[in-house]
Amino acid sequence: MQELWDPGTKTVIESLGIRPGWRCLEVGAGGGSIAAWLAERVGPGGEVLATDVSTRHLDALQLANLEVREHDILGDPLPDAHFDLVHARLVAEHLGRRSLERMVGPLRPGGWLVLEDCDWGAACSYPDDRGQRAVDAANRLLSRSGLDPHYGRALVHELTRAGLEDVSADGRVRVYRGGSLASGWMRLTLESLAAALVESGELTRQELELAWADLDDPGSVFLSASMIAARGRRPH
């Protein structure tokens, strides 16, 4: 995920005018690459709080201005009106509106909320659509436990509804080959859901194996989901 999406995330955050001294909150920080980059970017006078329900990939990060905290965005407390930037990527699409609302209070007046979430509407695989059909089946399965595979298109409305100002959004699509790190993201998703996909009748074992073959084949090309990056500021 980091390989696919970090370059664009950094461009989006740079465009806000991030500078030394900023206080940043990275929600659902995952592998921690953006939290570590934010810590470098805001320097010793700034601070970064990286939260996740599981901090197993974050605990190795040892930076003086970075705090790692095991934290559930849906319930655990956060400081009020404190951060210049709150960022969450691929988190709200799973947790929904309540998670977004919980990220507004910690912003200082004028601070930015940046949410990045996928919209799978235009994703495809070429020349065969087996790989994409399997990913679509995985998204249908994940929808039953809360994922909105089209949350990206809702973000402008969601940020506006949460009372933010200067709301806007952009999208980016990556094009990648089978057998790459990026296709590995899809392969791992399908592997972890394999039993549930077959049991639920979404895919047969044979369909799964054909999709894996395509995901491993450098002759296959994939258009990623659109990553929608939406931003808005807390009013003064």
Residues that bind ligand SAM (CB under 6 A): 1-2, 27-31, 51-54, 72-74, 89-91, 95
Kindly tell me which of 105 and 207 has the beta carbon lying closer to ligand SAM: 105
Tokens of 35: 């939290």
Kindly tell me which of 50 and 164 has the beta carbon lying closer to ligand SAM: 50
Residue that has been written with the tokens 């990045």 in this structure:
116
Kindly tell me which of 72 and 191 has the beta carbon lying closer to ligand SAM: 72
Kindly tell me which of 193 and 220 has the beta carbon lying closer to ligand SAM: 193
Task: Tell me which residue has its CB nearest to ligand SAM.
Answer: 30
Write down the least CB distance from residue 75 to ligand SAM, Å.
8
Q: How many secondary structure helices (H) and strands (E) does the chain include?
A: 8, 10
Tokens of 19: 């500078």
Write down the least CB distance from residue 89 to ligand SAM, Å.
4
Q: Annotate 98-147 with DSSP letters as a single string.
A: HHHHHTTTTEEEEEEEEEEEEE-TT-EEES-SHHHHHHHHHHHHHHTTT-
Write down the least CB distance from residue 56 to ligand SAM, Å.
9
Write down the least CB distance from residue 27 to ligand SAM, Å.
6
Write down the least CB distance from residue 83 to ligand SAM, Å.
15
Kindly tell me which of 7 and 21 has the beta carbon lying closer to ligand SAM: 7
C-alpha torsion sign, points 129, 192, 51, 62: negative
**Distances from the Cα of 221 to the Cα of 1, 130, 139, 209, angstroms:** 17, 12, 19, 17
